[in-house]
Amino acid sequence: MRKQLSKVILIIAAVLLSLVFLYPTYQDYQYRKKLSALAGQDSIAYLEQHEDDILNAKLKRLKLGLDLQGGMRVVLEVDVIQMLEDVAKNKDDNFRTIISELRSGATTTDESVIPVLGKKFQDRGIRLSRYYGSIRESDATIVGELTNETEKAIDRAIEVVRNRVDQYRVSEPTIQKQGGRRIIVELPGVKDEREVRSLLQGTAKLEFKLLRDADISYKVMKSVDDYLSGKVEEDTSAAAKTLKKEQKPKDALEELLSGTKPAETDTSREARFTREHPFFSYVLPDQQNTGEGFVEEKNRDRVIRLLARPELQRLYPIDFEFLWSAKPEPLADGKQYYRLYAVKRRAELTGGVIVDARASVSQEDNRPIVNMEMNSEGSREWARITGANVGKRIAIALDNAIFSAPVVINKIVGGRSQITGLDSPNEARLLEIVLRAGALPAPLAIVEQRTVGPSLGEDSVQSGVSATLYAFVLTVLFMILYYRSAGIVADFALFFNILFILGVLAGFQGTLTLPGIAGVILTIGLAVDANVLINERIREELQGGKTMRAAIDAGYSKAFSAIFDSNITTFLTAIVLYQFGTGPVQGFALTLMIGIVASMFSAILITRVIFNTMTDRNMPPNFG
């Protein structure tokens, strides 16, 4: 036993770790069950009490793929031809013919469009500079520039899509760049596909909006707070009551998030503050008197719902709205906060006037800056706006999310502006992308879309789980029948193997897909292979007249090379599968890889320890 101590510790650690990883999944399941069982006020109170735990469990649970929980997967591609058409100048009939030729050719070939475009122009003896770039530039330079521009377009498109998906507030979306010009967007649980489609494809709206003065902003916040706490009763309480009646009592989460007062019995100070200041308990006004409010990331949805109440509009001055910062940022307490800005509803200027924007470094102090250039019409407007608002702040909003709100230092004439005071080169690059997104839209085409309805997903989960159970039970029974007590030991290993696979998947934030479940089932079949190899060897050695102890030792050491080599080759094919596959197929490859490693661990190490312990205690295993 002593010799095995380190192994036993290793096994116990692995099992514990898997359980720790899987615990949030179990918790999440329990919370859901409880919440659907409780009704009305009870469930609100329950939710309120366990809010952090529930969110935490949801975040860390084993994630299900789109095919299991339903949702949408969209692959978008930057429509390069559309873009070439958009950015060209002096478009004439010649140009249009070439573009339409390009378009009919491009649906079938995967060749890069721009060199083909260059060639088509050359064939007709037309210089590219007639439509693109400046007159003195050679065709080769322009082709290079256009190619460069396409690559930047994909980054802009990703930023636009990410920004919108963030605001649409889908839970757990994934947005990935694939190859040179594709974006994969996965939106689990999304139902309204038409809305999502327009969300992904519509043109980006870049606006410059003036910030409201800090004191106005605070005054509005204060009156919102007063109103929500019920201090300003008037005739609104009746309205609030009817509003409440319409709510389904079952929908506890909704009610909680809409800011209903917590149960009166709660007397702690914090709860009283929440009750008296339903707005300020989630929105922290900026101490530096900028008029901004800070909202912790987890409270953002709640505040959005609070502000969405239609009757609040009456509290706002004319031409006023709250907008959010596009991304959260860490404050001193280490938590992520969104900023809430008060801006004028009417935009001063829209992004169409921007000709160019470039991230750069200031020559004076080496700080990151962004240079922005506007066309002549925009420049005139810009001079007027900046001239009238020196010392005030203008927010740069893309699709109503604010990326930056610089202060106007002086009147800007000529259309060349410089944005300074940025924290990092990354921030500057992001701002460049955002500023260009308004001017040079990156037209996106949907090249692939898959929608899985929620009921299909549920069916798949059910059949997947039952198939796994059947496969497991059948294999377990067979092993016991064939190998007796040695079979039971192998079954133990098999059980832990499945536990490890799920634990590793949950721990590494993997996603379980339907093919992934197939991978688990297949691993059940493959995992016993190691034990079959070992047990067959031990039987042979026993027949050769060895003692139990010696036969076990020999069996394990002789079977090892076969187990190792055969598992490595299977593992290698799984890697290839992961490399070439997409989405669900990758899920399969992943579970297969984890399964192979886990099965080597459980089939070799765990069974060995059990066999050794059994022989040590004079209860030699029976190999049938």
**Range 50-69, binding other proteins (CB under 8 A):** 67
CB nearer to other proteins: pick between 357 and 528: 528
Among 423, 368, 433, CA closest to 396: 433
Token representation of residue 196: 């999502």
Helix, strand, or coil (residue 72): strand
Q: Shortest approach of other proteins to residue 456 CB, angstroms?
A: 4
Q: Which is nearer to other proteins, 103 or 416 (CB)?
A: 103
Least separation, in Å, of the C-beta of 170 and other proteins?
18
Neighbours of 624 (CB within 10 A): 14
Structure-token pair, residue 453? 């309805």
Min dist CB 105 to other proteins, Å, is 12
Least distance to other proteins from the beta carbon of 564, Å?
Answer: 9
- Quick check: 352 binds other proteins (CB under 8 A)? no
Q: Which residue has the tokens 């669900």?
A: 584
Q: How far is the CB of 488 from other proteins (least distance, A)?
A: 14
Could you tell me the two tokens for 360?
């750069």
Which of 558, 597, 615, 620 is in the footprint of other proteins by CB under 8 A?
Answer: 558
The single-letter DSSP state of residue 366 is -
Tell which residue, 602, 605, 614, has the closest CA to residue 485. Answer: 614
Q: Which stretch binds other proteins (CB under 8 A): 133-141, 229-237, 366-374, 577-585?
A: 577-585
**Long-range contacts, stretch 241-247, CB < 8 angstroms, 24+ apart:** none
What does the per-residue mask of binding to other proteins show for 189-208, with x meaning CB under 8 A? ----xx--x---x-------
- Residue 342, classed as helix, strand or coil, is strand
Comparison of 316 and 482: residue with beta carbon closer to other proteins: 482
DSSP state of 261: P
Q: What are the residues whose beta carbons fall under 8 Å from the beta carbon of 476, sequence distance 6 or more?
A: 491, 494
- Told to check if 576 binds other proteins by CB under 8 A, we report yes
Q: Which is nearer to other proteins, 133 or 621 (CB)?
A: 621
The CA distance from 85 to 99, in Å, is 7
d(CA 624, CA 538): 11
DSSP string for residues in 545-581: T--HHHHHHHHHHHHHHHHHHHHHHHHHHHHHHHHH-
Q: What's the CA gap between 115 and 397, in Å, rounded?
A: 35
Nearer Cβ to other proteins, position 291 or 584? 584
- Complex with other proteins: residue 26 or 478, whichever CB lies closer: 478
**Nearest distance in Å: CB 366, other proteins:** 45
- Looking at the Cβ atoms of 401 and 452, the one nearer to other proteins is 452
Closest approach of other proteins to the CB of residue 514, in Å = 6
- Give the residue with the Cβ less far from other proteins, 55 or 572: 572
Q: Which is nearer to other proteins, 256 or 593 (CB)?
A: 593
In whole angstroms, what is the distance from residue 589 CA to residue 555 CA?
A: 30
CB closer to other proteins, 64 vs 405: 64
Q: How far is the CB of 115 from other proteins (least distance, A)?
A: 17
| Kind and range of the H or E run holding 599 | helix 583-600
Nearest distance in Å: CB 155, other proteins: 21
55 dihedral zone (left: phi>0; alpha: psi -120 to 50; beta): alpha
Report how far residue 182's alpha carbon sits from residue 444's, in angstroms, rounded to the nearest whole number.
9
Residues 6+ apart with CB under 8 A from 418: 369, 370, 371, 372
Q: How far apart are CA 471 and CA 465, in angstroms?
A: 10
* Residue 398 vs 533, nearer CB to other proteins: 533
Closest by Cα among 595, 617, 614 to 538: 614
Between residues 219 and 484, which has the closer beta carbon with respect to other proteins? Answer: 484
Asked if residue 103 binds other proteins (CB under 8 A), the reply is: no
CB of 66 to other proteins, least distance (A): 11
Site string for other proteins, 107-146 (x = CB under 8 A): xx-x------------------------------------
Our CB check for other proteins shows the closer of 37 and 576 to be: 576
Neighbours of 187 (CB within 10 A): 24
CA 225 to each of CA 91, 222, 309: distance values in angstroms, whole numbers, following the listed order: 56, 5, 13
What is the total count of residues that contact other proteins (CB under 8 A)? 80
Please list every residue from 272 through 301 that binds other proteins, using CB under 8 A: none
Cα 581 to Cα 568, 575, 589: the distances in Å are 19, 10, 8
**Restricting to residues 225-254, which ones interact with other proteins according to CB under 8 A?**
none
Cβ 198 to other proteins, closest distance in Å?
A: 9
Stretch 448-507 residues interacting with other proteins (CB under 8 A): 448-453, 455-456, 459-460, 462-464, 466-467, 470-471, 474-475, 478-479, 481-484
- Tokens 């706490």 appear where? 229
Site for other proteins in 510-539 (CB under 8 A): 514-515, 517-518, 521-522, 524-526, 528-529, 532-533, 536, 539
Closest approach of other proteins to the CB of residue 615, in Å = 21
Nearer to other proteins, 291 or 595 (CB): 595
Q: Residue 443 corresponds to which tokens in the numbers above?
A: 């037209």
Q: What are phi and psi of 206, to 5 degrees?
A: -100, 130
Note whether 599 and 523 are within 8 A (CB).
yes
Stretch that binds other proteins, among 116-124, 147-155, 250-258, 561-569 (CB under 8 A): 561-569
Site for other proteins, residues 580 to 599, rule: CB under 8 A: 580-585, 588-589, 592
Per CB under 8 A, 570 contacts other proteins: yes
In angstroms, the Cα distances linking 297 to 47, 56, 302 are 18, 13, 10
Q: Does 317 sit near other proteins (CB under 8 A)?
A: no
Please, what is the minimum distance in Å from the beta carbon of residue 95 to other proteins? 22
d(CA 593, CA 614): 31
**Closest approach of Cβ 22 to other proteins, in Å?**
23
| Closest to other proteins by CB, 156 or 537 | 537
Minimum distance of other proteins from residue 523's CB (angstroms):
9
Question: Which tokens is 33 given?
Answer: 């069950």
